[in-house]
Amino acid sequence: MTQAYAQIVGWGRYVPSRILTNHDLAQMVDTSDEWIRSRTGILERRMAGPKESSSTMGARAAMAALEVADLAPSRLDLIICATITPDYPLAATASLIQDAIGATHAGAFDLNAGCSSFVYAISVGAQYIASGAARNVLIVGADTISRILDWTDRATCVLFGDGAGAVVLRMSEHPTGVLHCVLGSDGSGAESLYIPAGGSRLPASAETIQAKQHFVKMDGHEVFRFAVTAMSQAATQAIAGAGLKPDDIDLFIPHQANVRIIQSAARALRLPMERVFVNVDRYGNTSSASVPLALCEAVEQGRLRQGDRLVMVGFGAGLTWAAAVVQWGVPASAARRPWWRTLVQKVWGQQAIVGSAIRRGRRRISAMRVPTVIPTDDDEEPSRKR
């Protein structure tokens, strides 16, 4: 059997239209544009509207990625949604995206590894393809961090933003695409970046709400120190695992948390900043969306050409880290969208909405028909009783 490789053949992104600048934040908490800019490199970030959530943003990014891949949603085998802000605690956001885009033949699950989730999901999706279990895998990174922030805590609320990005992985016989991945975790640092309540250890109560324990708590210094080491070590290991040297890497796409962390990691890898992609200035830390948003913008800006090698690196809550070395296998022209492709995609979108409405309607009708009382032995016909 020939070896199967997971090639990135589609990419897409979505960010909400509302922009929150550092100056806006200075009206809300005791901070300044100068402090945020100099400590993080962030100038502005996007905020989800009242009708937006991780699944709605993720579905928009997914449809854009499918359009570039020229793939009908029904041909997807698997959807993995990387997220730390699912729409619901129960019922995976991946399933909501599967329904919204009409991917009627796909399995779907969420993956939470903090801000490393997207790179973790790339590794999982690539393994499904390498094993032959799937041909077309959609990886979505979507987060609505604005909903889990304490907007009175200046140490955290200035750092994050909302958004989504997605890629389509397709089975290929050519040795391109995902070449090597490295995953890691150190749970002894879990409490340096976490949400204390709302899980099984401390369920929601009036007291937890009063104590603001449903919001992100972070030890910024601790996470900063960890991030620089984790990013450079994970990237070094992944590059070596792919049989390459840092010099062979054309583009480094790090998790966009803080430009100072990115610069320190690049220094440790001896990579010049011209080979590092940065867009944290416009979006802040979008968690699971940060790496795919950066990847999409890198392609749009012509920073990736066929044959280029890139390394995507994440770090985050858990604590976790992950790196993936990828050889870019598609020509830039793949992103050009002829008018008819956009039209076909609109039809798929309408089909998905109608299909979902029909399935929901059928479910309601069958719920009316099927008795809700489960028959017991006593309910059996007398003749069948022993």
Catalytically active residues, by annotation: 115, 255, 285
Name the residue among 192, 253, 252, 270 with its Cα closest to residue 224.
192
Residue choice 37, 75, 135, 154 for contact with ligand ACO (CB under 6 A): 154
- Written as one letter, the residue type at 241 is G
Binding mask 338-357 vs ligand ACO (x if CB under 6 A, - otherwise)?
Answer: --------------------
How many residues touch ligand ACO under the rule CB under 6 A: the total is: 23
85 binds ligand ACO (CB under 6 A): no
264 binds ligand ACO (CB under 6 A): no
Interface of this chain with ligand ACO, residues 94 to 123, rule: CB under 6 A: 114-115
Interface of this chain with ligand ACO, residues 280 to 309, rule: CB under 6 A: 285, 287
Q: Which is nearer to ligand ACO, 25 or 129 (CB)?
A: 25
317 binds ligand ACO (CB under 6 A): yes
31 binds ligand ACO (CB under 6 A): yes
How far apart are alpha carbons 80 and 71 in whole angstroms? 17
Binding mask 156-175 vs ligand ACO (x if CB under 6 A, - otherwise)?
Answer: --x-----------------
Binding mask 214-243 vs ligand ACO (x if CB under 6 A, - otherwise)?
Answer: ----x-xx-xx--x----------------
Give me 10's structure tokens.
């589609």
Report, in Å, the least distance between residue 114 CB and ligand ACO.
4
Q: Which DSSP string do the residues of 82-126 spell out, in sequence order?
A: E-SS-SSSSS-HHHHHHHHHT-TT-EEEEE-BTBTHHHHHHHHHH
How far apart are alpha carbons 72 and 104 in whole angstroms? 10
Q: At what angle do helices 54-69 and 93-101 cross, to 10 degrees?
A: 50
Report, in Å, the least distance between residue 287 CB and ligand ACO.
5
Contact 35, 133 (CB under 8 A): no
Alpha-helical segments (H) within the chain: 22-26, 33-40, 54-69, 93-101, 117-130, 154-157, 206-210, 220-241, 259-268, 280-283, 290-300, 339-369
Residue choice 193, 235, 312, 352 for contact with ligand ACO (CB under 6 A): 193
Give me 113's structure tokens.
């590894």
- Residues making contact with ligand ACO (CB under 6 A): 31, 35-36, 39-40, 114-115, 154-155, 158, 193, 218, 220-221, 223-224, 227, 257-258, 285, 287, 316-317
